[in-house]
Chain A
């Protein structure tokens, strides 16, 4: 199951996403649950039960993971260049019930791309 949860700010997306992740982790084990925080103001960690110190240590994905590739016709495009599984291992945090959390929103800022 690959589920996205959307809606107006403050409606309860994070509360529902985080609690759902924990519920599924218990009922669907050994299937892993990956919770992705795609909000630019990430706070899924606390609803998952990840301690503040651990949550603060989570780093966002660096922009260098995107690579510019050249097509056969000479035009270029930008693609995600890394192996997602190793990115998960490197940047993901593991919380209670073995839910894996990836924080996307904390992507490092810099010049406009």
Chain B
């Protein structure tokens, strides 16, 4: 086993196991779930699979959901991102329904994020009232409930 990955997993496991009501922990994963071991998975309260309205992204999310279940994460939800229109929304809803994935929210496609990125800063500071930031703000309630 690569010990760099072992360090990451070990720390995540320790930290997540100890996190209590005084602290929220949000882990921004890489595309795969390499850093998650069974032990760590059990200590997460929830896994959020983000997907975009195109097939390969939805397929990856489906794999993530399946793998999460194997890792012992009970609560796995899906958030749709970069949704442009009703067709996008329908495609995602249909895919999730077909595969038993629990879709809990969506973030619209929002070009102002590019603006924030160009300036190298936080969307919440640079484009606070933007549709995407507003949607993520609403999502916070859903995801912490």
Contacts of A3 in B (CB 8 A): 24-27, 44-48, 143-144
- How many A-B residue pairs have C-beta atoms within 8 angstroms? Tell me: 236
B125 (CB) vs chain A CBs: closest residue: A49
Mask: chain A, 3-27; 1 = CB below 8 Å from B; 0 = not:
1111111111111111111111001
Q: What chain B residues lie within 8 Å of A7 (beta carbons)?
A: 31, 49-51, 57, 60-61, 64
B79 touches A16 (CB 8 A): yes
Task: Kindly provide the distance from the CB of A19 to the nearest chain B CB, expressed in whole angstroms.
Answer: 4
Is B139 interfacial (CB-CB < 8 Å)?
yes
Contacts of A6 in B (CB 8 A): 29, 31, 33, 47-50, 64, 68
The CA-CA distance from A9 to B54 in the complex, in Å, is 13
Query: What does the 1/0 interface line of B7-44 toward A look like (CB < 8 Å)?
Result: 11011111110110111111111110101100000011
Do most interface residues of chain A lie in helix, strand or loop, or is the interface mixed?
A: mixed
Determine the interface band of chain B, counting residues with CB < 8 A from chain A.
35 or more
**Cα-based distance from A73 to B105 in the complex (angstroms):** 50
Do A5 and B29 touch across chains, with their CB atoms under 8 A apart? yes
Q: Is the CB of B44 within 8 A of A4?
A: yes
Nearest-CB residue, chain B, relative to A68: B3
Give the A-binding residues of B (Cβ under 8 A).
1-8, 10-16, 18-19, 21-31, 33, 35-36, 43-52, 56-57, 60-61, 64, 68, 73, 79, 81-82, 107, 113, 117, 120-125, 132-133, 136-137, 139-140, 143-144
